[in-house]
Structure 1
Amino acid sequence: MALIGMLVLAGLALAPIYNGTLLPLLVAAAAAGSVLISVAVRRLPAWTAAPASMLGLAALTFVAVRVSAQAGQIPGGFPDVAREALRNSIPRLLTALIPIEPQPDTVVLPVIATWLAGLAAAEVGVRHGRVLLSYTAPTLLFGGALYLVGPDTTAAAATTWVPLAYAAFAALGLIVTARDPRPVAETTEVLTAADRRTLRLRIGVGAAAGLAIIVALSLLVGPTVAGQGNSTPVDPRGLVTPPQLDSLDENPLVRLSGWNLDKDQHLFDAVVTPGPGASPDPVIRLAVLTDYDGVTWRIGSVYRNAGRVLGRPEGSGPEVTQEITIDELGGRLMPGVATPRRVDGVRVAFDAETGTIAYSESLHKGLAYTVTSRQEPRPDDQALFVAEVPAAEEAGRFLALPGRVPDAIGQLSSHLGEGVSNPYQRAFAIQQWLEDHYKLVDDAPSGHAYPNVEYFLFGPKQAGGQKGTSEQFTAAFAVLARLAGLPTRVVVGFQPRKGDRAIRGGDAVAWPEVLFRDYGWVAFDPRPKSDSVRRPVEDDFKPKAPPSQPPPQSVPPASVSASPQPSRSASAAPPSAPESSGTTTVVAVVSSAAVTVLVLAFFASVPLVLRTRRRRRLEEGPPAARIDAAWSEVLVGLRMAGRPAPPHLTAREIAHYAGTAAVAQAHAKDRRPAVRPPVPPVDELAELVNAVAFAGPQTVGGRPAGPADEQARRAAAQAVAYVDELRDRRPWWRRLLWTFDPRPLRWLRRP
């Protein structure tokens, strides 16, 4: 019971980040099944527990996949669904949006982990009686659940009682297994007075020692542990890369001109059913673009895999249901009324910050899904009139204007802000200026970089200036608003026509939104409200700088990256590099490559030079010189091993020292139990060295006499065998350094 309770509580620790109660039920089944099967076979041989438990795990996995697939509306046969769930369970859990939808790939891993933890705990605790040790697997499972929850404060608040209950079950298991199974009569012993005094002394000393340890740990570790209460846990979802958008979806604003030119292109069908209190004609949103680099607006969203439920319920706005069927709309972004809270029929990825959804693959003709949204009402003008915008430190991302903004645009923003006292008035002044002075057309070329915005605002009418699609109106509003200190983003969507379920290219539209404190994002519409004649810009404002030339008709391609990248202004040409920079770069590259090649060649030649020199010194020349060379090899080997021979020792003493140095080296470095060959002695070599050094010149029959060739060969063989064994007793990385170490080349040159 204690083990089952601890395992169930691990599942309850995960429950707050899951939608519904399916996962806790499956985890409870895994906990009970794994422990009870081990208890049932505890009197059988130990090898029977694992096969019996695996059969139970297979059965529960089958049930979990079938039930969760049915609940999550996952199509496909069991083999395909199970294979996909097992392969993608870990990344799926780390990229899923909270609350996580119980689907095969989000429940299989917790169920299997719980079953394996129960099997290990029951075998160790029930069969072998190691109760405290059996708590290891449930505790690791519980810790893993808390780690997966991460910094989710809602989950933490919902499970404050779970750790206390876990500790209670652990204590219960220790208490019920602490009873002595023998009868009381068998355990009762008569203690003498001395025994009782000794027992009291031991109990007192143990209690005092335990109390001292607790106090010491409280003083040393307590402040650190207490300080962690205000820290934010690590979010494991940052370890994986969420789904990314391609370049087509990264900047859907450039698609407006194509849609407006092909007004009859059938993009999708939408049957919108507003709930009580909802707007009768809600706008369908496709994408929210938050990042601007002076050339293009980009989506800065982080999409996470989601189930049917998109985030926890927020807001109290009326519901709007949309039944959408894709026709010719491409990309991965999925249209829906803001803000979606549930999607049925497909598996999607969701960005909680912007409230936009994306499909896991490219949209295709016939794809159908249902979106349920919460429509937040727009605040009234009186409330917005006194509203403030977030400070620059809080909303810097929505105020950024990288590069150099044309002077004329900055002058217009300052002109529109004169005499305006609050943020809403500044936003309304920009909207009214664009409404009154510019013309809405369908055939304006696409583009929203600084030069495009400048030409739209100040270009001559006869050359195409001062008119544009909703792309230019929205981009101009957003740039002017950011210059005025208003956090702004751009939204792309569709305005359905009343009584028509078909959404066509002519229904595509863009609009800006401004962020107000306590009210969120508020939409503005800077497009003209009628076809009346617009007032010339020059009548109300004339920039000091001359109008710019017409910009290019095409916008530079958007970067594939979903994150904004800083760039220079589109109107600024890249600085020309000095003429000598290319030559300098080539010289630097060639020099670096040459130095690298020389260094590598030097170290690669070291083993070859050492081997050649050893063979020449030990095999060529008179025997006395070869014996001296063999002795030098031994001395150099001791230095390479980090145990150089003391200079005051004689040859015989060095021979003894060499043997002890090799043995000490083996004891210090070779930690693995292995049979080592004996250290080859160098005693005969030492005797030969003494004979060569101190015997003096000898003559036999008038000819010089000395050591024979056979003695020189034995000396060389002893030296080589000793040095090789000494090297082999070193760790592998020191043997590698030994091979390429150039210092012996210098040591062997010394007399």
Structure 2
Amino acid sequence: MTSPPTGQPTRLPPTGPPAAPPSRAASRSGPVMIVPSRRRGHGVLPQWWLVLLDAVLVVGLGVLCSWPLGQVYTGRRWLLAVVVGLVLGVAVAWIGARWRWGPWLTALGVVVAYLAIGSAVAVPGRARNGLVPTADSLRDLVIGLVHSWRESLTLPVPLGETGVVLIVPFVTGLVGGLVAAVLLWRSRYPGLAGVVLALVLVLSAAFGDVSAPAALTRGLVVTLVAIVWLRWRSLRHVRARWGRRVLATLVVVGVAGGAAIGLGAMADPNANRVVLRDHVDPPFDPHDYPSPLAKFRAYKKEPLRTETSLFSVDGIESGTLVRLAVMDTYDGIVWNVSGGPDAVHDSGTFRRLRNDPDANAKATVRGEITVTGYTGVWVPSVGETLAMTPIKDGRADGEAAGELVINRETGTIAQIGGVEPGTTFEVEAVTPVPLVEEEISLLQGDASVTLPAPAVVPEELVDRVQRWQVEDGFNGGSGGLLAQFLRDAFREHGFYTDGIDDDVPAGHGASRLAELSKTPTPVGNAEQYAAAMALIGQRMGLPIRVVMGFKVPPGGGDVRGENVTAWTEVKLAGAGWVPFDPTPPEDQKLRKPNDTPDEDPQPQVLQPPRVPGEPKEASDNLQQGDGKRKELDVLAVLGTILGVVLDVAKVALLLSPLWGVLLFKFLRRRRRRRVSDATLRLTGAWHELADRVRDLGVRPAPGATRRESAYAVAERYPQDSAVTVVALAHTADRHVYGDGEPSIDEASAYWADVETALRRIRRSTPWWRRLRARFSLASVPWRAGVERVRSATGRRVRRAGRWLAGLGPVVRARSAVRSAGDRIGGLFRR
């Protein structure tokens, strides 16, 4: 037996299980065990024309499914975000399928694409020139992944194009397009792509608005196209009569659509779609603020009465009613603004103010309202507001414009956080054409309006109105005729007082209105008369509400507290909300008899206590916008604590060294797979396999050969995986110790066989062990790295010590020279 030539490795005879058929990695003959060759199947891209068709349909159907999001955004930038997200997700899925990326590498590609493109699409205001990512834009993209979903639900709609709210449509399109394309091209169940698109539709509808035009038509189109496309795609190699199949699908979808239309027609016409934003607390709830009418008496006192200018008007005619707030809910204590989370549909809700693009052509009033001394959340407005632009320091204030909300049903406008003095509001509005008395008397009340019933109606008020009906000979009526009767009755039988000089109680609670009604001579101001007329009007079936505001003084200019007033509005069929002022003229005051001394004084009688629950008179320093005091909410505190814990956990997760472990393993695998030498590339594949199974818990003996390591794997995993790993060990030994060098193609094929073996091993491993293996340090030579760092640090410390020791003579010489100089200087001083 001759020995091999010097310098040639010894060829070891194969051991272990019998040989299997050769694979592409075995280019030379020999009795070795190898894995079967890769077959064309799942994970391999189909023909280019089918890939293109899939991509077009995923993007098109994804846009249709995301269309409900358009109801909560202004402009069309949300559509750009959805389209770019879908295209980007499909592109990453195609690249991953083309280069056979794993799930982790695909996820990394999505993150990179999100950060690279998201700045220009989702947060262009933070990017340089609207395109190039910056540190601020990247920070918004990372934080916005969590906060954008909450803000899109809590901010008033329609949402603008600033902040992080555009991340929602961008991420929806990105993730939806990626998952749908991956299922189409890399899974055994491509039909699940339709389920993904359906989930995109559900998510978009949940984050949308209560209104969704053509929702049924859009859903039928998506269903029809998706069914035909996915069915044809799965059976495209089968010869069938596709015309008949498509026709049958059209019939089925048409019948389903007809049934849906019929059920929709039978449903409650006043019902609305249920969306997520209906179940979260909105950022602006009018019930968090005092009733505007509660401050009525404070405006009548100094300094707000004549000394302080609340706001000034320009371009608005004298006598125009400037609305501050509309109140249609009475709880027995105050009239208040509705539109909160529990408001009825006819009261509307507060949504972000969106300026009408045709406001310039429609507006009949164009003016400016400049806030000076007024404070509060309610913004003065006129008529039906078409557009309102805040101006600060001579230019439009975009931040303030984003905080303007409006209740379109009542016309009330508010600014979140309160108006800021010095702000000028450019107003474009439409004022209704005034009606004459004869026209009003012929109109009926709008029966379609449903307002919340008042909580309390004083019996004294009901009795007084019934006596007025008898005295004035009112034979009944509704609508405009009833509103005119109530207005005239209060004006004729009542007397006016501002309550400042006279000892007349303030407020408009149930007890105050009862006192107003039971006296033979009712005395009050616009606060009491408007509240009383609206209360009895709702009791008698009128669609009526209270409005508080100011009347522009003659000559315009500054509006002060003396110009405050309140009136009622009644919804009449064909005419809208018509104003009625039931307050008597200011000169119609009650004359008091001359005071005469009482020669027989009566003992003082203790007065009964005041009815609890009456609102106290608003003080001069009352600032509307101060939220009402709330009790401690245990759930809110626990939610805050949980939020802090989650924030800390997120920071800890981002700063965790485990990400360094993942990065090290990724770079190690990448370096092994891209080495230029074919032999090193092939042995690197075996080292990758050995490291991966070591992370999974396989511990071969120290110094074990490839075959011994393979048999250690065979003891842990099923027979098919064991045979594959043993065959790979034989193949690696044959290429390393055999004659010649392997080619690059053979090394690449060996890498593919290693990945196949790893996939089989992972399938037979519990999910929790696979997750733990991702972050395992078993294959990371951290001990050797620590030892190298410690050795290098020791060498540097020793080198620094020697350098410092070498400085000793120099330091001593400098000290001697300094001492000699001191001695010489001392001689001269002597």
In structure 2, distance between residues paired with 1:429 and 1:233:
37
In the alignment, does 2:175 pair up with 1:135?
Answer: no
In structure 2, distance between residues paired with 1:515 and 1:417:
25
Match for 1:298 among 336, 345, 348? 336
In the alignment, does 2:53 pair up with 1:8?
Answer: no
Aligned to 2:301: 261
Aligned to 1:58: 115
Structure 2 letter corresponding to 1:269? F
Match for 2:615 among 544, 547, 557? 557
In the alignment, does 2:337 pair up with 1:282?
Answer: no
Aligned to 1:506: 562
**Identity of counterpart residues, as a percentage?**
21
The 3 A distance-change label for structure 1 pair 534 and 159 is same
Aligned to 1:683: none
In the alignment, does 2:410 pair up with 1:354?
Answer: yes
In structure 1, distance between residues paired with 2:70 and 2:547:
35
CA offset at residue 499 of structure 1? 4.2
Cα deviation per residue 1:115-141 (whole Å; 9 max; x = unaligned)?
111111222223447532233322210
Aligned pairs (5 A) from 1:155-166: 155-157=212-214, 160-161=217-218, 163-164=220-221
Match for 2:497 among 438, 441, 459? 441
Q: Which moved more, 1:414-423 or 1:78-87?
A: 78-87
CA offset at residue 523 of structure 1? 0.7
CA offset at residue 506 of structure 1? 1.8
Q: Is the 8 A contact 1:290 1:489 kept in 2?
A: yes
Task: Give the TM-score taking structure 1 as reference length.
Answer: 0.57
Match for 1:113 among 172, 183, 208? 172
In structure 2, distance between residues paired with 1:158 and 1:179:
31
Match for 1:42 among 64, 88, 97? 97
Aligned to 1:123: 182
Secondary structure of the equivalent of 1:261?
coil
Task: Give the TM-score taking structure 2 as reference length.
Answer: 0.53
Secondary structure of the equivalent of 1:397?
coil
Aligned pairs (5 A) from 1:417-566: 418-419=474-475, 421-442=477-498, 443=500, 444-457=504-517, 459=519, 466-529=522-585, 531=587, 556-557=614-615
The 3 A distance-change label for structure 1 pair 138 and 314 is farther
Q: Is the 8 A contact 1:512 1:525 kept in 2?
A: yes
In structure 2, distance between residues paired with 1:36 and 1:328:
57
Cα deviation per residue 1:228-252 (whole Å; 9 max; x = unaligned)?
5644564113222334547783421
Aligned to 1:386: 442
In the alignment, does 2:78 pair up with 1:23?
Answer: yes
In structure 1, distance between residues paired with 2:546 and 2:336:
9
Aligned to 1:339: 384
Cα deviation per residue 1:153-175 (whole Å; 9 max; x = unaligned)?
xx333773564156436644664
Q: Is the 8 A contact 1:301 1:353 kept in 2?
A: no
Cα deviation per residue 1:360-411 (whole Å; 9 max; x = unaligned)?
22444345554443333344434322211245x9546256644644564344
The 3 A distance-change label for structure 1 pair 535 and 551 is farther
In structure 1, distance between residues paired with 2:361 and 2:284:
31
Structure 2 letter corresponding to 1:446? A
In structure 1, distance between residues paired with 2:126 and 2:463:
59
Structure 2 letter corresponding to 1:289? M
Aligned to 1:614: none
Q: Is the 8 A contact 1:37 1:53 kept in 2?
A: yes
Q: Is the 8 A contact 1:305 1:348 kept in 2?
A: no
Secondary structure of the equivalent of 2:217?
coil
The 3 A distance-change label for structure 1 pair 92 and 533 is same
Match for 1:238 among 243, 253, 278? 278
CA offset at residue 147 of structure 1? 4.2
Secondary structure of the equivalent of 1:522?
strand
In structure 2, distance between residues paired with 1:36 and 1:476:
67
Match for 1:330 among 375, 378, 381? 375
Q: Is the 8 A contact 1:272 1:320 kept in 2?
A: no
The 3 A distance-change label for structure 1 pair 499 and 130 is farther
The 3 A distance-change label for structure 1 pair 241 and 145 is same
In structure 1, distance between residues paired with 2:71 and 2:162:
16
Secondary structure of the equivalent of 2:166?
helix
Secondary structure of the equivalent of 1:160?
helix
In structure 2, distance between residues paired with 1:34 and 1:484:
61
Cα deviation per residue 1:650-682 (whole Å; 9 max; x = unaligned)?
xxxxxxxxxxxxxxxxxxxxxxxxxxxxxxxxx
The 3 A distance-change label for structure 1 pair 494 and 453 is same
Structure 2 letter corresponding to 1:427? A
Q: Is the 8 A contact 1:324 1:370 kept in 2?
A: yes
Unmatched runs of 5 consecutive residues or more in structure 1 = 181-186, 188-198, 537-548, 563-751
Structure 1 letter corresponding to 2:299? W
Q: Is the 8 A contact 1:272 1:323 kept in 2?
A: yes
The higher-RCO structure (CA 8 Å, 6+ apart) is 2
Q: Is the 8 A contact 1:332 1:363 kept in 2?
A: yes
Q: Is the 8 A contact 2:352 2:406 kept in 1?
A: no
In structure 1, distance between residues paired with 2:613 and 2:438:
40
In structure 1, distance between residues paired with 2:246 and 2:75:
45
In structure 2, distance between residues paired with 1:382 and 1:400:
34
Aligned to 1:700: none
Q: Is the 8 A contact 2:351 2:405 kept in 1?
A: yes
Structure 1 letter corresponding to 2:274? D
The 3 A distance-change label for structure 1 pair 243 and 514 is same
Structure 1 letter corresponding to 2:380? P
In structure 2, distance between residues paired with 1:359 and 1:81:
25
In structure 2, distance between residues paired with 1:467 and 1:146:
54
The 3 A distance-change label for structure 1 pair 406 and 307 is closer
Secondary structure of the equivalent of 2:98?
coil
The 3 A distance-change label for structure 1 pair 306 and 447 is closer
The 3 A distance-change label for structure 1 pair 14 and 246 is closer
CA RMSD of aligned residues (A): 4.8
CA offset at residue 255 of structure 1? 0.6
In structure 1, distance between residues paired with 2:272 and 2:288:
36
CA offset at residue 496 of structure 1? 2.4
In structure 2, distance between residues paired with 1:69 and 1:333:
31
Cα deviation per residue 1:615-657 (whole Å; 9 max; x = unaligned)?
xxxxxxxxxxxxxxxxxxxxxxxxxxxxxxxxxxxxxxxxxxx
In structure 1, distance between residues paired with 2:496 and 2:580:
16
The 3 A distance-change label for structure 1 pair 80 and 300 is farther
Cα deviation per residue 1:184-225 (whole Å; 9 max; x = unaligned)?
xxx9xxxxxxxxxxx9xxx99xxx999999999999999689
Q: Is the 8 A contact 2:378 2:414 kept in 1?
A: yes
Match for 2:263 among 227, 243, 252? 227
Q: Is the 8 A contact 1:317 1:376 kept in 2?
A: no
In structure 2, distance between residues paired with 1:315 and 1:413:
47
Q: Is the 8 A contact 2:461 2:518 kept in 1?
A: no
In structure 2, distance between residues paired with 1:220 and 1:301:
37
Aligned to 2:791: none
CA offset at residue 552 of structure 1? 5.6
The 3 A distance-change label for structure 1 pair 513 and 532 is same
Secondary structure of the equivalent of 2:354?
coil
The 3 A distance-change label for structure 1 pair 459 and 398 is same
Cα deviation per residue 1:79-98 (whole Å; 9 max; x = unaligned)?
78668855553344345555
